[in-house]
Structure 1
Amino acid sequence: MKSHDILEVNKSLRTRCMVYTRVMGYHRPVESFNLGKKGEHKERTCFHESSKRHVAAL
């Protein structure tokens, strides 16, 4: 069974969730953004900091 099929079968069990993003030091729901800001949010890329820090040799 593919993931799409699983989602369709369990559609009645799913609930809508609020997505928040950090804007200027505070968290705000993406749902409240205007159309332009929502488009900008979709274009963002996730930043993942690696656990190993690279230190430049002097």
Structure 2
Amino acid sequence: MTHFSTQETTALAAADVQLLDSERQPCEVWTRVMGYHRPVASFNVGKQGEHNERQFFSEASR
């Protein structure tokens, strides 16, 4: 829970934050494989390539 006022929260959200590449950290991506979750970074080269080729879809709402 944050203790910022609505005005402070709006100011923080509107702030133009710029990070240098040296300040960034990689995002760890996990996926479900064979009934359990594993980080994609632990996949072999072929499986990582297969993961990158996946196409996502969204089902049309009725």
For the aligned pair, the TM-score class normalised by the smaller chain equals: 0.5 to 0.7
| Aligned-residue RMSD, C-alpha | 2.0
Match of 1:4 in 2: none
Match of 1:17 in 2: 27
Normalised by the size of structure 2, how large is the TM-score?
0.57
Residue 26 of structure 1, aligned match among 8, 15, 36: 36
Q: Distance in 2 between matches of 1:24 and 1:49?
A: 24
Identity %: 60
Normalised by the size of structure 1, how large is the TM-score?
0.60
Where do 4+ consecutive residues of structure 1 move more than 3 Å? none
Decide whether aligned partners of structure 1 residues 24 and 36 sit closer, same or farther in structure 2, where only a CA change above 3 A counts: same
Deviation at 1:25?
A: 2.5
Unmatched runs of 5 consecutive residues or more in structure 2: 1-17
User: Deviations 1:13-52 (Å, cap 9, x if unpaired)?
Assistant: 21111111111222110001011101111111112233x1
